[in-house]
Amino acid sequence: MARKVIIIGSGPAGHTAAIYAARAELKPLMFEGMYAAEVAAGGQLTTTTEIENFPGYTSIGGPELMEKMREQSIHNGAEILTETVDQVDLSVRPFRVLANDVWHEADTLVIATGATAKRMKLPGEDVYWQKGISACAVCDGGLPMFRNKPMVVVGGGDTACEEANYLTKYASHVHLVVRRDVMRASKAMQERTLKNPKITVHWNTQPLEAKGNGKSLTHVAVDTKGKGQWDIEASGLFYAIGHTPNTSFLGGQLKLDENGYILTEPGTTKTSVEAVFAAGDVQDHKYRQAITSAGTGCMAAMDAEHYLASHA
């Protein structure tokens, strides 16, 4: 028999949708993923240490916060399968969802599969990931290990500029490493960045290696066209080279923006297909926070509930 709601993805968006849908007695089924998109069930927060900006917790470990959300989903009656969805069929009603070679059916879907920050896979990255290297300045920039220390940001887009400016609150100096002689960021963002006395832009420069003492990052080796290889002293290395939204399993059945994020109707979680709702980072390239993901997860469950009530 078809489910009323299937939720795909298990970060803050998926779990908040599950909690709301379960409390609305919709008996949701969640596919939490089995290392889907190279992230453990529970999502991006399972890859970090302390979360200090999620309301209700002065500080909580990322994996612990996600375990609490999972417990709350189950407590309220959500069913969770540790499986990755390989395919969906949105051309039929009920919708069909394929995982582990089994087709499941549902009247509504909530897509909450998140986005994965691109990594550079530099030598030293595995050693210093979360010991100096991060892909989220807003999340990690304020940590004590970075206070009044030089930091490096890689990228030339809006995120890189935004993060470089943000990090000047904490860093002694920020080095923005741009691989070409131009930036892709908007003019306004570039101007703000170039005017900031605490930021130095290194054009035509590529990072080569993350170096340190085994416990923490101390330098980033780079190559600058015409200058050759040199080291930048840095306690922090922040990647801002883009995210990959986890939408490939949709097989082009939902409208996406030019970067692959699911398009939603402003102010709702409605997608281009009626009764399919999207929440969290998979539809948000701008805010990308746990709390905003949770907020849209709540909206998606309520949008699904309203749809089901009006099509009963």
Tell which positions 164-183 bind ligand NDP, by CB under 6 A: 179-180
Lay out the site mask for ligand FAD across 156-195 (x = CB under 6 A, - = otherwise).
----------------------------------------
Tell which positions 97-136 bind ligand NDP, by CB under 6 A: 120
Q: Which region, judged by CB under 6 A, interacts with ligand FAD, from 39-47, 90-98, 141-149, 165-173?
A: 39-47
60 versus 208: smaller Cβ distance to ligand FAD? 60
Q: Where are the alpha helices (H) located in the chain, listed in sequence order?
A: 12-23, 62-75, 125-128, 137-140, 158-167, 187-195, 290-310
Give the count of beta carbons closer than 10 Å to the beta carbon of residue 230. 14
**Contacts with ligand FAD: how many residues (CB under 6 A)?**
42
Task: Assess 285 for contact with ligand NDP (CB under 6 A).
Answer: yes
Give catalytic status of residue 140 as yes or no: yes
Task: Assess 303 for contact with ligand FAD (CB under 6 A).
Answer: no
Question: Taken in order 174, 180, 185, 190, is the CA torsion positive or negative?
Answer: positive
Paired sense of beta strands 150-154 and 173-177, if any: parallel
The residue whose two tokens read 């416990």 is 215
The amino acid occupying position 233 is E
Q: Which region, judged by CB under 6 A, interacts with ligand FAD, from 120-128, 153-161, 180-188, 276-284?
A: 276-284
Give catalytic status of residue 139 as yes or no: yes
What DSSP string describes 165-220? HHHTTT-SEEEEE-SSSS--S-HHHHHHHHH-TTEEEETTEEEEEEEESSSSEEEE
Query: Of 252, 266, 296, which is closest to residue 278 (Cα–Cα)?
Result: 296
Task: Assess 48 for contact with ligand FAD (CB under 6 A).
Answer: yes
Catalytic residue among 107, 126, 140, 303: 140
79 versus 125: smaller Cβ distance to ligand NDP? 125
Secondary element (H or E) of residue 234: none
| Nearest-angstrom CA–CA distance, 308 and 312 | 6
Cα dihedral 210, 213, 218, 222, rounded to 10, equals: -30
Half-sphere exposure of 258 (CA within 13 A, CB side): 0
68 versus 192: smaller Cβ distance to ligand NDP? 192
Give, in degrees to the nearest 5, the angle at Cα 61 between 58 and 63: 140
CB of 48 to ligand NDP, least distance (A): 18
Catalytic residue among 86, 107, 139, 161: 139
Task: Assess 85 for contact with ligand FAD (CB under 6 A).
Answer: yes
Give catalytic status of residue 136 as yes or no: yes
| Nearest-angstrom CA–CA distance, 236 and 176 | 12
CB of 288 to ligand FAD, least distance (A): 5
Task: Assess 11 for contact with ligand FAD (CB under 6 A).
Answer: yes
* Candidate list 75, 255, 286, 306; residue touching ligand NDP; CB under 6 A: 286
- Asked whether the beta carbons of 210 and 125 are under 8 A apart, the reply is yes
Q: Which of ligand FAD, ligand NDP, none lies near 269, with the C-beta cut-off 5 to 8 A by kind?
A: none
Q: Which of ligand FAD, ligand NDP, none lies near 271, with the C-beta cut-off 5 to 8 A by kind?
A: none
Lay out the site mask for ligand NDP across 138-157 (x = CB under 6 A, - = otherwise).
----------------xxxx
Q: Which region, judged by CB under 6 A, interacts with ligand FAD, from 45-53, 158-166, 217-225, 261-269?
A: 45-53
* Candidate list 25, 53, 306, 311; residue touching ligand FAD; CB under 6 A: 53
What residues are labeled active site?
A: 136, 139-140
